[in-house]
């Protein structure tokens, strides 16, 4: 997330987890703290709290209270004791809610200043790892987990890509993302929002918008509103074993949105018109007009022709796949 100002924020240290919720439901603990800061010119230091200047580079914006966190947790449909991976623990509000609901939490947080804030949450049911989720070793985490995250907007796509293609298999991923990003994920073919991101994610997962979150729910306020989405992996991923190749192909199809698809495919294959017609696709179509099933069929036939050597010489067969 982004914000024009990055104030000092006073964060209460997490007490040991109790059976009953510690944070006051329906009351903004953060608002109380900031009110005290304002009254004393920023010099007030509460007992059992630390002052932390929010890091612009990390896109830090924190929920005011646990209301949104509890609403997110309600959508986790795993039994008690199941593992939930939290990306971006921050001040631990969502972590605490997950633990209170009986889940085992593996949390990732890049900012080591929060070690002091959250160390009392750690125990047999909670492991907090202070390193970059995008670089962390996920091999020891068992399959069939749930993900939850309030994702910094600038790394939304890399995180979703890692969740879908590199991490353990999951039942659902509940992600708070920028509202405009959610609109791109759920866009329909033929709209301006429909593009590489839409196709590459929806080919491998179902995406559902759950609820909106106002920018006023955060400290400091970001410049845009958020949406909580749910991702669920599709079961038949083996239909496209070459995922990197597929994603690179989709990026190529959308490389020049205003041009016809056949023009974008000329650098990949000798007879793009023939390829489109063999899929029952009009040669005047643009990429944004194709459905996901049409893209899958098109890629399958493209790979057959590529393997038969019908592509231009010296072209790059392989490009790094990404969202």
Tens of pLDDT, residues 293-307: 999 999 999 998 888
Amino acid 58: pLDDT: 72
The answer on pLDDT for 4 being more than 70 is no
> Is 132 annotated as belonging to a binding site?
yes
| Calpha distance 187→181 (Å, rounded) | 10
> Is 109 annotated as belonging to a binding site?
yes
Amino acid 62: pLDDT: 84
* Average pLDDT score over residue span 226-242: 83
Tens of pLDDT, residues 175-228: 999 999 999 999 999 999 999 999 999 999 999 999 999 999 988 888 899 999
Q: How confident is the model at residue 44 (pLDDT cuts 50, 70, 90)?
A: very low
Tens of pLDDT, residues 48-101: 556 777 676 677 788 888 999 999 999 999 999 999 999 999 989 999 999 999
Mean pLDDT, rounded, of the chain: 83
- Residue 104 has φ and ψ, to the nearest 5°, of -90, 130
Q: Which carries the bigger pLDDT value, residue 141 or residue 60?
A: 141
| Calpha distance 205→127 (Å, rounded) | 28
Answer yes or no: are the C-beta atoms of 102 and 83 closer than 8 Å. no
Q: How confident is the model at residue 311 (pLDDT cuts 50, 70, 90)?
A: low
Amino acid 23: pLDDT: 37
| Calpha distance 299→261 (Å, rounded) | 13
Amino acid 310: pLDDT: 61
The answer on pLDDT for 147 being more than 70 is yes
Tens of pLDDT, residues 238-267: 667 788 999 999 999 999 988 999 999 998
Amino acid 29: pLDDT: 44
Amino acid 297: pLDDT: 94
Amino acid 238: pLDDT: 62
Amino acid 235: pLDDT: 73
| Calpha distance 235→253 (Å, rounded) | 25
Secondary structure of 17-66 in the HEC alphabet? CCCCCCCCCCCCHHHHHHHHHHHCCCCCCCCCEEEEECCHHHCCCEECCC
pTM of the shown model: 0.80
Amino acid 3: pLDDT: 44
Amino acid 274: pLDDT: 94
Answer yes or no: are the C-beta atoms of 156 and 181 closer than 8 Å. yes
Answer yes or no: are the C-beta atoms of 147 and 175 closer than 8 Å. yes
> Is 314 annotated as belonging to a binding site?
no
Amino acid 173: pLDDT: 97
Amino acid 314: pLDDT: 40
> Is 63 annotated as belonging to a binding site?
yes
Answer yes or no: are the C-beta atoms of 295 and 199 closer than 8 Å. yes
Amino acid 320: pLDDT: 55
Write down all domains in the chain, each with its CATH number in brackets: 8-235 (3.40.50.150), 239-307 (1.10.8.100)
- Name 129's Cβ contacts closer than 8 Å, sequence gap at least 6: 106, 107, 108, 109, 136
Q: Which carries the bigger pLDDT value, residue 165 or residue 40?
A: 165
Tens of pLDDT, residues 259-292: 999 999 998 988 999 999 999 999 999 999 999 9
Write the burial class of residue 123 (CB in 10 Å: 0-12 exposed, 13-18 middle, 19+ buried).
Answer: exposed
Neighbours of 297 (CB within 10 A): 16
Amino acid 222: pLDDT: 87
Amino acid 7: pLDDT: 57
């Amino acid at each position: 997330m982004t914000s024009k100002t990055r104030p000092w924020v006073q964060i209460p240290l997490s007490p040991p987890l109790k059976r009953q919720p510690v944070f006051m439901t329906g009351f903004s603990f953060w608002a109380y703290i900031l009110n005290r800061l304002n009254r004393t010119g920023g010099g007030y230091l509460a007992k059992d709290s630390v002052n932390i200047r929010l890091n612009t580079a990390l896109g830090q914006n924190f929920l005011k209270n646990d209301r949104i966190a509890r609403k997110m947790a309600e959508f986790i449909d795993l039994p008690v004791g199941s593992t939930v991976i939290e990306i971006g623990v921050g001040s631990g509000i969502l972590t605490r809610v997950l633990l209170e609901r009986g889940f085992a939490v593996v949390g990732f947080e890049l900012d080591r200043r929060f070690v002091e804030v959250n160390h009392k949450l750690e125990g047999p049911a909670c492991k907090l790892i202070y390193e970059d989720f995008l670089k962390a070793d996920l091999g020891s985490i068992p399959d069939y987990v749930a993900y939850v995250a309030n994702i910094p907007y600038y790394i939304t796509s890399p995180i979703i890509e890692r969740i879908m293609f590199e991490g353990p298999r999951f039942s659902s991923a509940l992600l708070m993302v920028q509202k405009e990003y959610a609109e791109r994920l759920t866009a329909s073919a033929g709209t301006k929002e429909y593009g590489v991101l839409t196709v590459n994610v929806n080919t491998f997962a179902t995406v559902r918008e759950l609820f909106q979150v106002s920018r006023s729910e955060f400290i400091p306020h970001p410049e845009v509103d958020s949406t909580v989405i749910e991702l669920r992996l599709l079961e038949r991923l083996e239909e496209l074993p070459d995922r990197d190749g597929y994603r690179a192909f989709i990026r190529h199809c959308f490389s020049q949105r205003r041009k016809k698809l056949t023009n974008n495919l000329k650098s990949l294959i000798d007879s793009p018109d023939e390829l489109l017609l063999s899929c029952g696709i009009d040669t005047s179509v643009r990429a944004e007009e194709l459905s996901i099933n049409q893209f899958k069929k098109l890629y399958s036939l493209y790979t057959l022709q590529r393997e038969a050597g019908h592509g231009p010489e010296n072209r790059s067969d392989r490009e790094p796949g990404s969202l």
